[in-house]
């Protein structure tokens, strides 16, 4: 399943460089598209494309086994996934009664270090790329989820909350002989 024994990558990129690069990307998208909704959609799409690739890197580096339920998946997503790629560990909270929906609470979002949303773009979901990454990555492990922003620090909330809803298990996607 994973490329075993890959040496730990010690190369690090400065957090500021990372957030400035992402900022330049979003600012360019905002210039290219007319509506904020379209930008949000583009970010989600980019995130999805990153996610479906990033999951391989994730397994190669973490040697993570299979998760048995959604709660465990949430745990791995936050404690291993977010920590590995963003350097923060969000809190998992607000589980729905059925256990198919939870929230990721980010006290600190490394993407938004210097950002201030302009008055004219209040509909912009600046960090929407994260939603796409989660959706793409989980789809590769046969979990179809819906991910969306509930609140965003950039819009004046205290913390950033991302909602993840489990839709269905993608049984068909499992290649023969995998189980």
Taking the complex as a whole, the smallest distance from the CB of residue 117 to another protein amounts, in Å, to 7
> Which is closer to another protein, CB of 16 or CB of 37?
16
> Which is closer to another protein, CB of 31 or CB of 68?
31
CA–CA separation, 131 and 48 (whole Å): 8
* Number of residues that make up the chain: 179
Taking the complex as a whole, the smallest distance from the CB of residue 18 to another protein amounts, in Å, to 12
List residues near another protein by CB under 8 A: 16, 20, 23-24, 26-27, 30, 113-118, 121
Taking the complex as a whole, the smallest distance from the CB of residue 21 to another protein amounts, in Å, to 9
> Which is closer to another protein, CB of 76 or CB of 117?
117
Residue 171 to residues 11, 32, 72, 143: CA-CA distances in angstroms? 38, 38, 19, 9
Contact 77, 88 (CB under 8 A): no
Taking the complex as a whole, the smallest distance from the CB of residue 16 to another protein amounts, in Å, to 7
Contact 116, 144 (CB under 8 A): no
């Amino acid at each position: 399943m994973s490329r075993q024994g890959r040496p730990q990558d010690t190369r690090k990129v400065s957090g500021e460089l990372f957030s400035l690069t992402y900022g330049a990307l979003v600012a360019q998208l905002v210039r290219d598209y007319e509506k904020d909704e379209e930008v949000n959609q583009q970010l989600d799409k980019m995130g999805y494309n990153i996610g479906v690739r990033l999951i391989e890197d994730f397994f190669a580096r973490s040697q993570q086994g299979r998760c048995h339920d959604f709660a465990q998946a949430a745990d791995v997503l936050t404690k291993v996934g977010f920590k590995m790629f963003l350097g923060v560990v969000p809190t998992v909270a607000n589980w729905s009664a059925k256990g198919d929906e939870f929230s990721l609470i980010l006290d600190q979002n490394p993407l938004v270090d210097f950002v201030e949303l302009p008055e004219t773009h209040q509909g912009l979901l600046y960090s929407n790329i994260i939603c796409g990454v989660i959706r793409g990555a989980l789809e590769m492990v046969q979990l179809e989820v819906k991910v969306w922003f509930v609140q965003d620090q950039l819009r004046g909330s205290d913390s950033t909350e991302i909602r993840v809803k489990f839709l269905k298990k993608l049984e068909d996607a499992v290649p023969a002989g995998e189980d």
